[in-house]
C-alpha cells in the first residue's frame, strides 16, 4: 500500500508557466502551494523575480513567497526544515500538496534531503573574494570549469556566491563540489512525490523570456532595483534581473545594454535549469498548455498503489 500523502512538484525553466500550472493544480486538488523558487522568498524582490501577483496569490494559498528579507541569512538547509514542517500542516488537511519552482537545489532538498557540505577554512573564502575583486568573476568561472565541469554546466555562473561556495569546497577538499551533492543516502520521507516538468520549444520559451523582461521594465523594475541599491552587495541580489540593472544604475551600462544582457542572462539561466532537471529521470515532461494531460497523469499515479520511486 502506498503512503497516503503525495507532494506534486512542478519544475522547469523560468517563464515556462509553472505558476499558472501550480495554481490550477492547487485549485483542482483543493490544496496549497509551497514555493521552491529561492528568488521569490525575498519580500523586497517582486518584479525581477516574477513573483505571483495579488490575484494569483488569492487564487491559491502560497507559502514562502516574500517570507524573508534580503538582509536575512537564509540557506537551503533552513528551507528544507521549514518546508517539511509546512508540508506536515498541509497534509493534516489534504492528501495532496503542490510544490513549484525552478531552484533545483531547493526542490531536491525537500524531496531527497540536503547534504551538509564541508566547511572551508575562512582564508580560502577570503582569498577567493580578493580574487573576485581584483580579477573579476570570469577568472573564478574558469577555475570552476577546470575543477568541477559538472557543476559548471548547471550553476548560475553570474552568481558569485554560488561560484565561490563551489570553489571553496573544491580547493579545501581536493574533490569536485558536485561529488558532495550526489545524495548518497536519500532521507526517508513520509510522503510520496510526483514530478511534473514543464518545457516547450526553445524558440517559444526565449520569446516568452524576452516578453517577460519587457513587461518587468514596464512594471517598474528599474525603480525596484533602485530601492535596493543599499543592499546591492547582499547575496540575494547577485542574481539575474538585479545585477544587470545595478550595472546600469552604477553607470557601467546604458539601459538598453542592461535590458539586452538581462534577456540574454535569463535565457542562459533557463538553459541551465533545463540541463539540471533533465538529469532527473523521475520527471514526466509536459507542455505548459497540457493541464488536462497533467491531471490525468497525476490521478493515474495517485490511484496506483505501487508508486514508483526515482
Annotated binding site for ATP: 12-19
Q: Which set of grid coordinates corresponds to residue 118?
A: 564541508
Residue ranges of the annotated binding site for substrate are 14-19
Distance CA 174, CA 178 (A): 12
Segments in the chain forming alpha helices (H): 18-28, 54-59, 76-93, 104-112, 122-135, 137-147, 149-152, 160-173, 177-180, 202-219, 221-226, 243-249, 255-278, 291-303
Cα 137 from chain centre: 21
Residue ranges of the annotated binding site are 12-19
Q: How many residues does the chain have?
A: 310
Q: Which residues are registered as beta bridge partners of 68? A: 42
Sequence-distant (≥ 6) Cβ neighbours of residue 112 within 8 angstroms: 183, 186, 187
CB atoms within 10 A of CB 276: 20
Q: Contact, 164 vs 136, CB < 8 A?
A: no
User: Within 13 Å of residue 178, how many CA atoms lie on the same side as its CB?
Assistant: 13
Amino acid at each position: 500500500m502506498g503512503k497516503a500523502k503525495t507532494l506534486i512538484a512542478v519544475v522547469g525553466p523560468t517563464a515556462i508557466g509553472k505558476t499558472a500550472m501550480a495554481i490550477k493544480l492547487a485549485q483542482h486538488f483543493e490544496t496549497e502551494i509551497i514555493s521552491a523558487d529561492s528568488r521569490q522568498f525575498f519580500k523586497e524582490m517582486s518584479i525581477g523575480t516574477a513573483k505571483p501577483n495579488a490575484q494569483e496569490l488569492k487564487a491559491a494559498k502560497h507559502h514562502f513567497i516574500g517570507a524573508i528579507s534580503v538582509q536575512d541569512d537564509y540557506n537551503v538547509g533552513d528551507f528544507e526544515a521549514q518546508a517539511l514542517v509546512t508540508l506536515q500542516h498541509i497534509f493534516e488537511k489534504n492528501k495532496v500538496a503542490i510544490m513549484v519552482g525552478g531552484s533545483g537545489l531547493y526542490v531536491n532538498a525537500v524531496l531527497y534531503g540536503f547534504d551538509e557540505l564541508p566547511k572551508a577554512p575562512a582564508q580560502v573564502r577570503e582569498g577567493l573574494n580578493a580574487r573576485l575583486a581584483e580579477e573579476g568573476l570570469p577568472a573564478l568561472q574558469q577555475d570552476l570549469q577546470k575543477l568541477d565541469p559538472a557543476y559548471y554546466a548547471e550553476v548560475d555562473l553570474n552568481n558569485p556566491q554560488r561560484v565561490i561556495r563551489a570553489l571553496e569546497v573544491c580547493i579545501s577538499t581536493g574533490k569536485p563540489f558536485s561529488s558532495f551533492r550526489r545524495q548518497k543516502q536519500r532521507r526517508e520521507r513520509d510522503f510520496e512525490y510526483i514530478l511534473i516538468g514543464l518545457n516547450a520549444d526553445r524558440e517559444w520559451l526565449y520569446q516568452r523570456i524576452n516578453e517577460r523582461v519587457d513587461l518587468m521594465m514596464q512594471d517598474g523594475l528599474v525603480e525596484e532595483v533602485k530601492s535596493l541599491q543599499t543592499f546591492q552587495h547582499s547575496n540575494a541580489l547577485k542574481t539575474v534581473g538585479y545585477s544587470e540593472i545595478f550595472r546600469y544604475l552604477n553607470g557601467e551600462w546604458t539601459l538598453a545594454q542592461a535590458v539586452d544582457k538581462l534577456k540574454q542572462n535569463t535565457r542562459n539561466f533557463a538553459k541551465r535549469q533545463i540541463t539540471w532537471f533533465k538529469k532527473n529521470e523521475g520527471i514526466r515532461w509536459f507542455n505548459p498548455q497540457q493541464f488536462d494531460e497533467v491531471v490525468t497523469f497525476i490521478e493515474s499515479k495517485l490511484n496506483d498503489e505501487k508508486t514508483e520511486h526515482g
